[in-house]
Amino acid sequence: MGCQMNERDSETVAGILHCLGYQPAQTPAEADFIALNTCAVRAKPEHKVFSKLGELRRIKQERPQTIIAVLGCVAQVAAQEIARRAPYVDIIIGPRNYAQLAQAIKTVQRTSAPNDPVIVTDSHKTIPEALPVRRTTPVSAFVNVTYGCNNFCTYCVVPYARGREQSRPVQEIVAEVEQAVAEGYKEVTLLGQNVNSYGSGAGQGCPSPTVMSQEEGYGFADLLAEVSRVEELERIRFTTSHPKDISVSLLAAIAGLPNVCEHLHLPIQAGDDEVLARMGRGYTYEQYRHLVEAARERIPGLSITTDVMVGFPGETEEQFHNTLRAFEEIRFDQAFMFKYSDRPGTRAAEMPDKVPEAVKQARLEQLVALQNETARQINQKLVGKSFEVLVAGADAKSPGKVRGRTRTNRLVIFPGQERLIGKLVQVQTQEAYLWGFLGEIAAQS
């Protein structure tokens, strides 16, 4: 469940299990080890964890030797609740503790009688390097550049779930990218809660692990330059960018480095200054808008995507309309839109004037309708143009067709054979939809 960070963590866990001699099972019912990698960002994915655990209870009753583990952000922030509500869970382990997973499994294997779960949620300080990985993503290899987050936006559980921000050493990142390329990946996605602050937190081995300002010291733009020199790496993506930490040198790096894709995921969260201040975002709407203008000016063809929330505590109708206006002005290529959800332990959860569910729902629908219309218009204008597409796989719904993404992360489906998978193909778009395009091969590059 959850974000790309979780997906990458699952690949590490798969690597650890492989080293212990486990093989993938076809169904949960026949597995000796079942792990849920969980997300705590909103109440909904957290509820999903407990309903999944309900399903796993039956499996545990039928095959008591099956080891059940809860990993990820819910494991970190709600370990005791999991142990209480699902006492048949054997291992509860947080996202910064996977280096201890093998040990936890061995402990459970040694004790055959039902026991209290092994809970490992203590290590927020170390970056576990040199853990094995079994990659499962088809085209883009996920590579962490930072772990954790220091921003403490008032609504957000992530700093509690994933700890303080730490930057991985440059040489470790480059080595992992080289390894991924050697495995056949043409694209990497660099991951961090806030990649733009790379190098500014407590690093484990940046050239100078002390505080560095973006413009002076070694920052994310420098890292991009270094990664871009990896031979045969065609595309570099990165996520997520925090608007307050975007530097001019980063925009220059995206514009100037040929394998860095022209795409910025830049969460706005709200378009109203008062709401932004209460969220603790560290920028005003005007500052955000100027940043978008500067980025679009410097980087031709740039696509900008965003995250936004409606119904933050105290959000008035007028403040919500400021978010609508921001969306009209900026015209995002794509947006992930959410209803605010209380997260226990965060400052926003304690704020007064909670917005009723029905109001949040109505606001979300209004914003989604506006964004859909914008995306349709933007895509319509791109019909007939030719794009470089990295082919990800066969399109499950339409035989004889494959799917892939443009550098700007737009989905394109077109007639093609499976031998194109993993290749870069020039595709001309023919029909625009909300989700992307139908197209046809123009000329192979």
Site residues for ligand 5AD per CB under 6 A: 41-42, 155-156, 267, 269, 307, 309, 338, 340-341, 343
Instruction: Give yes or no for residue 39 binding ligand SF4 (CB under 6 A).
Output: yes
* Residues 143-172 interacting with ligand SF4 (rule: CB under 6 A): 157-158, 161-162
- CA 299 vs CA 191, 327, 369: distances in Å: 21, 20, 28
CA dist 321 and 132 (Å) reads 48
**Which of the listed partners (ligand SF4, ligand 5AD, none) does 269 bind, with a CB threshold of 5 to 8 Å by partner kind?**
ligand 5AD
**Which of the listed partners (ligand SF4, ligand 5AD, none) does 309 bind, with a CB threshold of 5 to 8 Å by partner kind?**
ligand 5AD
Instruction: Give yes or no for residue 78 binding ligand SF4 (CB under 6 A).
Output: no
Q: Quote the least distance from Cβ 40 to ligand SF4, whole Å.
A: 5
Compute the C-alpha angle 212/241/205, nearest 5°.
35
Among 40, 391, 402, 432, binds ligand SF4 (CB under 6 A): 40
Burial grade of 436 (CB within 10 A; 0-12, 13-18, 19 or more): buried
Among 2, 94, 117, 416, binds ligand SF4 (CB under 6 A): 2
**Which of the listed partners (ligand 5AD, ligand SF4, none) does 6 bind, with a CB threshold of 5 to 8 Å by partner kind?**
ligand SF4
Q: Give every CB contact of residue 222 below 8 A, 6+ residues apart in sequence.
A: 199, 249
Nearer to ligand 5AD, 55 or 353 (CB): 353
Q: Quote the least distance from Cβ 10 to ligand SF4, whole Å.
A: 10
Residue sitting closest to ligand SF4 (CB): 2
Nearer to ligand SF4, 153 or 291 (CB): 153
**Which of the listed partners (ligand SF4, ligand 5AD, none) does 69 bind, with a CB threshold of 5 to 8 Å by partner kind?**
none
DSSP bridge partners of 307: 336
Residue sitting closest to ligand 5AD (CB): 307
Q: Quote the least distance from Cβ 306 to ligand SF4, whole Å.
A: 15
CA dist 97 and 233 (Å) reads 31
* Residues 162-221 interacting with ligand SF4 (rule: CB under 6 A): 162
Instruction: Give yes or no for residue 349 binding ligand SF4 (CB under 6 A).
Output: no
**Which of the listed partners (ligand 5AD, ligand SF4, none) does 262 bind, with a CB threshold of 5 to 8 Å by partner kind?**
none
Q: Quote the least distance from Cβ 117 to ligand 5AD, whole Å.
A: 27
Residue 445, token pair as written in the block: 């590059």
- CA 39 vs CA 42, 48, 351, 371: distances in Å: 8, 9, 23, 26
HSE-CB for 63 with a 13 A CA cutoff: 12
**Which of the listed partners (ligand 5AD, ligand SF4, none) does 5 bind, with a CB threshold of 5 to 8 Å by partner kind?**
ligand SF4
Q: Quote the least distance from Cβ 5 to ligand SF4, whole Å.
A: 5
Q: Quote the least distance from Cβ 340 to ligand 5AD, whole Å.
A: 5
> Do 218 and 169 meet the contact criterion of CB atoms below 8 Å apart?
no
Q: Quote the least distance from Cβ 126 to ligand SF4, whole Å.
A: 18
Nearer to ligand 5AD, 166 or 306 (CB): 306
> Do 260 and 254 meet the contact criterion of CB atoms below 8 Å apart?
yes
Q: Quote the least distance from Cβ 166 to ligand 5AD, whole Å.
A: 20
**Which of the listed partners (ligand SF4, ligand 5AD, none) does 159 bind, with a CB threshold of 5 to 8 Å by partner kind?**
none
Nearer to ligand 5AD, 188 or 266 (CB): 266
- The contact set with ligand SF4 (CB under 6 A) reads 2-3, 5-6, 39-41, 72-73, 157-158, 161-162
